[in-house]
Amino acid sequence: MTDPLSELHVLRPWWLLLLIPAVALWWLDRRTGDPLRPWRAAMAPELLAHLTVGGGANRRFAPGTLLLLGWFVGIVAMAGPTWRREPSLFADAAPPAMIVLRVTPTMTAPDLPPTRLERARQKISDLLDQREGAATGLVAYSGSAHLVLPPTTDKEVVLTMARALSPEIMPREGDQLAQAVALAARVLAEGKRGGSLVVLADAVAPDQTNALRGTGQSADRPPTVLWAMLPPDHVAQDTSLQSAIAALDARLVKVTPDPTDAASVARRLDSATAPAATAQGDEARGQDAGYWLTPLIAALLLGWFRRGWRLAA
């Protein structure tokens, strides 16, 4: 069991510098706040003690001393003392995911009613429902790749942007899956939260398969799922998809008429682990315990409500 004293520290140590002016003000008050100071230089101490009320008493808790103690406790509270750790706010959050969506004329084919592209949007919606609260981003590609949305937990924004995509608004026709995958992987790397890729595509050009096999790319690529936007019985016959799956080292998921496929994708995404650098960034942090000192501060202030306390001799 960890010794609490070994974990004792403050979260905001610079606040402790305020102890210096607090002690200086207390010392100045002690020097100038004594109303009998002029008389002490002109009168014998024994006589002065008999001519003043309480002159012979030794007050252990003078107002200035209690004020210094209150300042001390308040400054320590503001410095954030801690001896326990609390998990990061993101410790239990699901890893983010980047959706890579193919937006080409072939995606308007009606063999996945109403169209392959519309079915892809429906599946994105199903996936977001399965991963409630998890961050999801969006990359669209055809002859060029474009970041539509970085990872966000607002699923309505993701769906709105996905519905706005169509082959007509893409700058050029073609297939730049390798560029899109590299862009999505870079976004996840910059976020330092780990994560996975979900590629929704109905075909992959042969040159893209070769690009995906490029030296060094697969080593840095996040875990990938290829969600085939084709009728399930056509997937095994499409050699371009099979080659892309091998090049991406991806898990293949076929479309189902219900959210079963989305649930399968969600399980794979949630099982993805963050890299070591990410885990270090999400370590448990100190739990601020300064608020426990507020009752003591309040108790020290009660003395100042006593009549004549500040002027007591």
Condensed to tens digits (0 to 9), the pLDDT of residues 119-158 reads 999 999 999 999 988 999 999 999 999 999 999 999 999 9
> Are both 69 and 103 inside the same structural domain?
no
- Whole-Å CA distances, 152 to 45, 98, 158, 189: 76, 10, 8, 15
In contact, 229 and 255? CB cutoff 8 Å: yes
Task: Name the β-bridge partners of 136.
Answer: 97, 152
Concatenated DSSP letters for 268-309? HHHTPPPPHHHHHHT--EEPP-GGGGHHHHHHHHHGGGSTTT
> Are both 164 and 198 inside the same structural domain?
yes
Structure tokens at 172: 């050029």
Alpha-carbon span 132 to 94, nearest angstrom: 9
**CATH number, domain with residue 210:** 3.40.50.410
Q: Does any domain span residue 244?
A: yes
Q: Does any domain span residue 173?
A: yes
For residue 73, give the DSSP letter: H
Check whether 27 has a pLDDT greater than 90.
no
pLDDT at 116: 97
> Are both 73 and 21 inside the same structural domain?
yes
> Are both 72 and 110 inside the same structural domain?
no
Domain holding 222, by residue range, is: 97-272
> Are both 195 and 242 inside the same structural domain?
yes
> Are both 38 and 102 inside the same structural domain?
no
> Are both 51 and 115 inside the same structural domain?
no
> Are both 162 and 76 inside the same structural domain?
no
Q: Does any domain span residue 313?
A: no
The helix (run of H) or strand (run of E) holding residue 167 is: none
Q: Does any domain span residue 294?
A: yes
Q: Does any domain span residue 56?
A: yes
For residue 91, give the DSSP letter: T
Condensed to tens digits (0 to 9), the pLDDT of residues 42-77 reads 777 777 677 666 544 455 556 777 778 888 888 888
Condensed to tens digits (0 to 9), the pLDDT of residues 172-227 reads 999 999 999 999 999 999 988 889 999 999 999 999 988 988 634 555 789 999 99
- Tell me: cis bond preceding 114? Omega within 30 of 0 counts: yes
> Are both 28 and 169 inside the same structural domain?
no
pTM of the model: 0.62
> Are both 38 and 181 inside the same structural domain?
no
